[in-house]
A and B are shown apart, each in its own frame.
Chain A
Amino acid sequence: MGSSSIGKRKKDPTALRSVLFLLPSWILLLIFFIGPILLTFYFSFTNLALTGTQAQNIEFVGFQNFVSMFEDPTFRISVMKTIVFLFLSAIVGQQILGFLLAILMKEKNPTFRRLIGIIVIAGWVTPEIVVAFCWVAFLNDNGTLNMILDAIGLESITWLYTFPMISVCIANIWHGTAFSMMVFQASLDDVPKTIEEAATIDGASRFQVLIRIILPMVKGSIVTNMILVTLQTLGVFTLIFTMTGGGPGTSTQTLPIFMYNQAFVNYQLGYGTAISLVLLVIGIIASLFYIRSMRVKI
């Protein structure tokens, strides 16, 4: 390729130029991205506080934050809540619903397909805080859902108090499903029609075609999408914070909310950072799986 021949002809200037061209991005990334990640590792071993003497004199406390974290029953509750939130909203909700939408929309009337697509994507384009607001209104005591239940003769439910976890999961599914739908639409379009037709001629039912032919062919994007959606959902803060504030009690207190409460409400930044480290480590592991699943050529 032309680019490599350029590289060989002027070896030294390109090396210098590369450094110069990459410098601005490196500076920004080092200060504001890699720096904070390294700080997470450091601060989580200190007693750093938001106010008081501990804000000035940071002391190294070893594994104390982690010991108290694993002894803290609310930490264990948060881990459980995070797993439930990830499982219900990311894996069952966005992933399966997204796939279902994509497969059902395949080869349908283009106008109808477009209409449904626009409606689902509207939820994705809507900013998270507006999504929260829409769903708080929709699920409220006098909201639309209870009005509908009333109209068909069912009892009203205080959704955000009785089923807080289900409520935030539904809102997150509403917000995120379009992404999975688009990923699956793109990968389903890549499945050659001739293979499906050949299988149908050989007597395979539509279900068999789906299980035996389509699913194995889009396996790669299912795995990649699963990891991406999990990573996105792991970081969800705004939606839960604005809908329930993590409550009632600790019923929707996922790890980001727990981290926020410890660091900014209880002023224990060191402890808060230890919780971020847990989040970060989960994120790092998932990201490594993501890179592996991509099998990209760089």
Chain B
Amino acid sequence: MNRFKWERTIPYVILSIIGACFLLPLLWVLFASFDANAQQALTIPEEFTLANFTAILSEPATIRSFVIGLFLSCGQALLVVIVGVIAAYPLSRYTQKYKKPFMYSILFMTSLPITAVMVPVYQLFIFLNLQDSLVGTMLFLTASGLPYGIWMLKNFMDAVPPELEESAWVDGASIWKGVRRVVAPLMIPGICTVAIFTFSMSWGNFFVPYILIQTPDKFPASVTIYQFFGTYGMVEYGKLAAFSIIYTLPAVILYLFSQRFMSQGFSLGGATKG
């Protein structure tokens, strides 16, 4: 049964090699962030220290950039969910002539690359006198996240039986109250999936704030980290690594939190259908 054994072990060997290749670049940031004299190459720190983290976290500019990043991303996620649920309602519950073309346009917009519209968006922001405005940036981010949000929320809402709402109407609830009290609570997994996904996309977005925000005091963390790695010329590896870890953390935590909703989101997103 020698051949049989081979067939069983080869996939494990290949997977281990690929896994190791994926792990190596990540290990460096992890180790360097705890290393007092971090170098470019991966080394196990001689002494573990939290000095890099405390240095980063005691800098007001860093804290400010995180707060701004949170403002942009939380604001966007919240707006996408609210506006998205409101828009999803008639799309899910009513039959209208324009529904089909509207849904197709939404699906179409979800897949367009945002990069392609950044130059005209910049010009539009100058025209509307919104350049350097964090609220303006957040509204643009909201619009760019809406197609995905509406698409997903409509699908999640379809899964909530209309009968439940109808009985709430019998009890005297208005349409709006029915959405808020009956439909929305039943869609919590869907709402969380959309919120988390929107937040992560925006938290990791460098290009949009880099183009639309000019004052360094208004930069979110994604842009600050870039400035950081430019000005320090990658000398203070430990601090840079610590900054990266702190910056990555919200995305990782939310991913872990969203795990149980994610699989649902994936199949509803249609990516796996075909």
> Residues on A close to B: CB < 8 A?
1-4, 6-7, 14-15, 17-18, 21-22, 24-25, 28-29, 31-33, 35-37, 39-40, 43, 48, 97, 100-101, 104-105, 108, 112, 115-116, 119-123, 125-130, 133-138, 140-144, 146-147, 174, 182-183, 186-187, 190, 206, 218-225, 227-228, 231-232, 234-238, 241-242, 256, 259, 263-264, 269, 272-273, 276, 279-280, 283-284, 286-288, 290-291, 293-296, 298
Known: A6-B93, A29-B143, A116-B15. 17 other contacts (CB 8 A): A3-B162, A17-B175, A18-B90, A22-B90, A31-B139, A32-B140, A33-B143, A108-B12, A133-B229, A137-B32, A141-B40, A143-B41, A182-B266, A220-B273, A221-B274, A232-B113, A279-B116
Residue B114 at the chain A interface, CB threshold 8 Å:
yes
Indicate if the CB atoms of A33 and B244 lie closer than 8 Å.
no
Would you call B95 an interface residue if the criterion is a C-beta within 8 Å of the partner chain's C-beta atoms?
yes
Chain A to chain B: the 4 pairs with minimum beta-carbon distance, closest first = A220-B274, A235-B113, A127-B204, A32-B143
| Contact between chains at B206 and A187 (CB < 8 Å) | no
- The interface stretch among B44-52, B53-61, B104-112, B187-195 is B104-112
B26 with A126: CB separation less than 8 A:
yes
CA distance A31 to B111 in the complex (A): 18
In the assembled complex, 7 residue pairs joining A and B whose CB atoms fall closer than 8 Å, in A order, are A17-B94, A100-B18, A136-B234, A138-B25, A183-B272, A220-B273, A283-B112
* Docked complex: B124-143 residues within 8 A CB-CB of A: 124, 139-140, 142-143
Main secondary structure of the interface of B (DSSP, over half): helix
Residue with the highest number of chain A CB atoms closer than 10 Å, among B19, B207, B251, B272: B272
Q: How far is the CB of B165 from chain A (nearest CB, A)?
A: 9
Q: Which one of A125, A186, A234 lies within 8 Å of B255 (CB-CB)?
A: A125
Across chains A and B, the number of contacting residue pairs, with CB separation under 8 Å, is 298
Q: A39-B123, A235-B114 are in contact. Are A142 and B109 (CB under 8 A)?
A: no
Q: Do A32 and B121 contact each other (CB < 8 Å), given the known contacts A108-B15, A138-B28, A294-B107?
A: yes
Q: B119 within 8 Å of A by Cβ? A: yes
Contact of A242 among B140, B175, B226, B274 (CB under 8 A): B226
**Interchain CA distance A128-B248 in the complex, whole Å:** 10
CA A222 – CA B175 in complex, angstroms? 42
Contact present for B117 and A43 (CB under 8 Å): no
- Closest A residue by C-beta to B100: A298
